[in-house]
């Protein structure tokens, strides 16, 4: 479905691969699965934030294994969506994240 929206994307099988991709390319947003092998989404997001990268990160999870959206924001996520993914909801959230990024970039 990302292709239908004209989204250029890369796929990482785990958090370590995501970090490796981040070193090679700049991304406008990341859809970060919370539960991945090798390194989970929480740790990958922590390391991305520690590096100072302001990329918008949306958490993806099959269950609501967090207490609140506030908890996810405290862990460095900008938004979240539950799996199975509702593509209309994901589209709206991604659009909002990218508009937020563009408006903050234009202020600089």
105 exposure class (CB count in 10 Å sphere: 0-12, 13-18, 19+): exposed
Spans of all domains in the chain: 15-101
Predicted pLDDT at 38? 94
How many helices, marked H, and strands, marked E, lie in the chain? Answer: 4, 3
Residue with tokens 């918008």: 56
Predicted pLDDT of residue 99: 79
Q: How far apart are CA 68 and CA 9, in angstroms?
A: 28
Lowest-confidence segment of 44-48, 80-84, 100-104 by average pLDDT: 100-104
Confirm or reject CATH 3.40.50.2300 for domain 15-101, answering yes or no.
yes
pLDDT at residue 20 greater than cutoff 70: yes
């Amino acid at each position: 479905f990302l292709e239908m929206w004209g989204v250029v994307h890369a796929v990482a099988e785990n958090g370590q691969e995501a970090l490796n991709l981040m070193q090679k390319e700049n991304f406008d947003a990341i859809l970060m699965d919370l539960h991945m092998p090798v390194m989970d989404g929480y740790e990958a997001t922590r390391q991305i934030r520690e590096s100072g990268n302001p990329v918008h990160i949306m958490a993806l999870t099959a269950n609501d294994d967090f207490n609140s959206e506030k908890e996810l924001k405290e862990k460095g996520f900008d938004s979240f969506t539950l799996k199975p993914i509702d593509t209309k909801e994901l589209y709206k959230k991604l659009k909002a994240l990218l508009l937020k990024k563009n408006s903050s970039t234009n202020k600089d």
